[in-house]
Structure 1
Amino acid sequence: MSLFIGLMSGTSLDGVDGVLVDFWAGAARTLASSHVPYPDALREELMGLQAPGDNELEREAVAANKVAAIYALCIEQVLAKTDIKFADVRAVGAHGQTIRHRPELGYTWQALNGALLAELCGIDVIVDFRSRDVAAGGQGAPLVPAAHQALFGQAGRTRVLANLGGIANISVLEQDGHVTGFDTGPGNVLMDGWIARHLGKPYDEDGTWAAGGHVIPALLASMLSEPYFAAPPPKSTGRDLFHADWLQRHLAGHASAAPQDVMATLTRLTATTLATDIRRHAPAADIVYLCGGGAHNGTLRRMLADELGGHVQLETTDVLGVAPGLVEALCWAWLAFRFDAREPGNLPSVTGAQGLRVLGALYPR
């Protein structure tokens, strides 16, 4: 067996997904998984660290320790579902919680104390996967397209994997083996913030609230004027751009808009920007596989299907043998597997880096 654990916490800030994977003989077999939600206080602190504030260095360090403890708990829960011992796991690939992503300034930062995590779990811990790509002139994101190609690519057929997390991104796995990928824009981040503000809920389950609203064309057009959407890849984004103040600027001329109609418009924004980039960069694709939390949003899926037209089939990654909520954690297990073999984990065609690089920093057990 060749056992690795992947741990992922994304822009939605809902908690940590963990998966145990056996990469023996080149295959990727998922053995167990778990999800550990963030406590409300930690989630609020991580949200607050998205912007400059008082005493932020100490606050980030303390939060990074708390994130490590949650990651360690997730590892414990994953292994508790198996007969596998901690010492049998080759390494853990841990993403950490992104609080700043500024590749144009030469840095990206994920809150996670990797040293503490290694102490807590007694397994080799590999962290900070994005920084080496950024140092090589890349965006540091998205990194999952390389894993998507290795795990889901199919010769002779173009496939698209669309991750609907807080930020949406696509991987275009072309039939000749060429791979492109980038962040298309908001996934759930604006929708989650809006429903939390008005209904006190963490997300719009199945898109039920959005389904009862009406899209506001002028508001949608205003948001679609954001220069990021027209920028060519390689590109990546996050809460540094798409946040509550960004939305509020576009709402300035729509003070009387019903909150439910705004929700419908935000859902359509995600569907429109995602579909536009799929048509633009994967015109030969006849199937799109959805993963991430947004894959379970029925209203978003219907809007996306409408934007793509009837010739493109939508499926979740369940049909590929991986639950939508586990795909990113699986990718981080794969990145740890690549680091352990000292093999590259990035794709310059995706991130814009100067070349292939081994990604990550190791904290030995």
Structure 2
Amino acid sequence: MLRTGPVTALGTMSGTSLDGVDAAVVITDGETIFEFGDSAYRPYSAAERQVIAAALGRWPGQEGVEAAAEVVETAHAEVLSRFSGIDLVGFHGQTLAHDPGRGRTHQAGDGDVLAHALGLPVIWDFRSSDMQMGGQGAPLAPFFHFACAQWIGAAAPVVFVNLGGVGNLTWVNPAHISPDAPGALLAFDTGPANAPLNDLMQARRGMAFDRDAALAAQGAVNEDLVQEVLQRSYFMKMPPKSLDRDDFADVLGLVADYSDADAAATLTALAAASVARGLEHCPEHPAQLLVTGGGRKNPLMMEMLIERCGLPARQVEAVGLNGDMLEAQAFAFLAVRVLAGLPTSAPGTTGVGAAIGGGRVSRPSAQ
């Protein structure tokens, strides 16, 4: 059943950095953002993170996947139950594997389980329809970024950069009236961001991430290695294009003989350099970069981003957005689009043949 008018939607994101579950409210009709509501965060414990990490790269039915799904569902149910006055939930799940070359993707977590636990409609499995129609299935936040560009009153092209486990960017031309209009959006994964750095920190220091770049700031960048990685075919490939979290996992081996500080500095530089290389694909350079994701809190990564891109780069908070919750808000927004029968991806965002909607709707048994 299609919905019209403002809807109070609650979106979630459990990202590739495996830190926890973000949940955020957006009041929207799926086209215009009317208001941003409350948000909450539920971190994964070290044990929970270990269960999910053990299932990375695996597909339904393989060892460890069921246990990971249970952790994801339990954590989501806990944080989502804190909210009231919600019309529907947009549930992304936890990506365990993503293989666009073979048209398949795997997000752990079942929307039916959450719908029954919360007593609310849950929209989930956002990527499958896009991939069935030849798209990459990612990234999916660009349609929301388009609405954000309108919300902040952008008059010229702007680029949103998300520095999560994987980096991605969305080039937005706000002159268009809808996100699926030709030329309105270009989006793609830029390359590795925090995932290799976080994995390094966990392996060498037993820490989840390099807080405030304390370790990387002490090291020296091996620029030859950065440039060597940038010669890989992925960076030459024309967008749209997308990555799995572990597509660049081998770079850890490339820094195996480096000191901890030099390895951290080099991986931090690689994240920034990947974005700079990605900007070469944009129709025109923007006036600025608006940065979201955990990487925006890394002062060295931000400094390197500005230096390598030759553009001002600001945290999205500078324009009134919430960088901690932007992806969760995106899936609240997309959930409303699904229920309204609107497209959620287009040729410029995922490479799908034509603008297409996605998502499954699970309802509580009483509905």
- SS in structure 1 of the partner of residue 105 of structure 2: strand
Q: How do 1:52-63 and structure 2 match up within 5 A?
A: 52=58, 57=62, 59-63=64-68
Secondary structure at the counterpart of residue 324 of structure 1: coil
Q: How does 1:311-330 map to 2 (within 5 A)?
A: 312-330=311-329
**Could you tell me which residue of structure 1 aligns to residue 101 of structure 2?**
104
In structure 2, relative to structure 1, the CA distance for the partners of 1:165 and 1:137 (3 Å cut) is same
Matches within 5 A, 1:27-176: 27-52=33-58, 57=62, 59-77=64-82, 79=83, 85=84, 88-153=85-150, 156-176=155-175
Report the Cα distance in structure 1 between the residues aligned to 2:210 and 2:362, rounded to whole angstroms. 38
Please point out which of 200, 204, 216 is paired with 1:210. Answer: 216
User: How far apart, in 2, do the equivalents of 1:160 and 1:306 lie?
Assistant: 16
Question: Residue 350 of structure 2 corresponds to which residue in structure 1?
Answer: 351
Give, in angstroms, the shift of residue 308 of structure 1.
1.9
Check 1:156–1:33 CA distance in 2 against 1; reply closer, same or farther (3 A cut): closer
Question: Structure 1 stretch 57-66 or stretch 111-120: which is displaced more?
Answer: 57-66
Aligned 8 A contact 1:4 1:22 in 2: yes
Measured against aligned partners, the alpha-carbon deviations of 1:275-310 in whole angstroms (never above 9, x if no partner) come to: 22224415431111000111111000001111122x
Match of 1:247 among 251, 257, 266: 251
Q: Which residue does 1:82 correspond to in 2?
A: none
1:220 aligned partner: 226
Equivalent residue letter for 2:279: I
Q: Please give the per-residue CA displacement for 1:27-86, whole angstroms capped at 9, x wherever unaligned.
A: 331210001011222211211112359x95363123212211111111123x1xxxxx3x
CA gap of 1:56–1:261, structure 2 versus 1, over 3 A, is farther
Higher mean displacement: 276-285 or 207-216: 276-285
- Relative to structure 1, the CA distance from residue 297 to residue 180 in structure 2 (aligned partners, 3 Å threshold; closer, same or farther) is same
**8 Å Cα contact 2:200-2:252 kept in structure 1:** no
Structure 1 residue 12 displacement after superposition: 0.3
Which ranges of structure 1 fall in alignment gaps of 5 or more residues? 80-84
1:195 aligns with 2:195: no
Q: Which runs of 5+ in 2 are unaligned?
A: 1-5, 177-183
Give the match for residue 272 of structure 2: 271
Which residue does 1:11 correspond to in 2? 16
Percent identity, aligned pairs only, is: 33
Seen in structure 2, the aligned counterparts of structure 1 residues 61 and 278 have a Cα distance that, compared at 3 Å, is same
Count of aligned pairs:
349
User: For residues 240-298 of structure 1, what are the alpha-carbon distances to aligned partners after superposition, in whole Å with 9 as ceiling and x for unaligned?
Assistant: 4122xx124434xx73x212101101111011110222244154311110001111110
Indicate conservation of the 8 Å contact 1:117/1:125, yes or no. Answer: yes
Kept in 2, the 8 Å contact 1:160–1:282? The answer is no
Deviations 1:99-120 (A, max 9, x none): 0101111110100021111111
Provide the TM-score with structure 2 as the length reference: 0.90
Q: Which TM-score applies when normalising by structure 1?
A: 0.91
Distance in 1, matches of 2:285 and 2:93, equals: 35
Which residue of structure 2 lines up, in the alignment, with residue 260 of structure 1?
261
Decide whether the 8 Å contact of 1:289 with 1:317 is kept in 2.
Answer: yes
Distance 1:62 1:280 in 2: 40
CA deviation profile, 1:107-153 (whole Å, cap 9, x unmatched): 10100021111111111011110111000100000011111012224
SS in 1 for 2:47: helix
In structure 2, relative to structure 1, the CA distance for the partners of 1:162 and 1:282 (3 Å cut) is farther
The answer to whether the 8 Å contact 2:58/2:65 transfers is no
Whose helix proportion is higher, 1 or 2? 1
SS at match of 1:168: strand
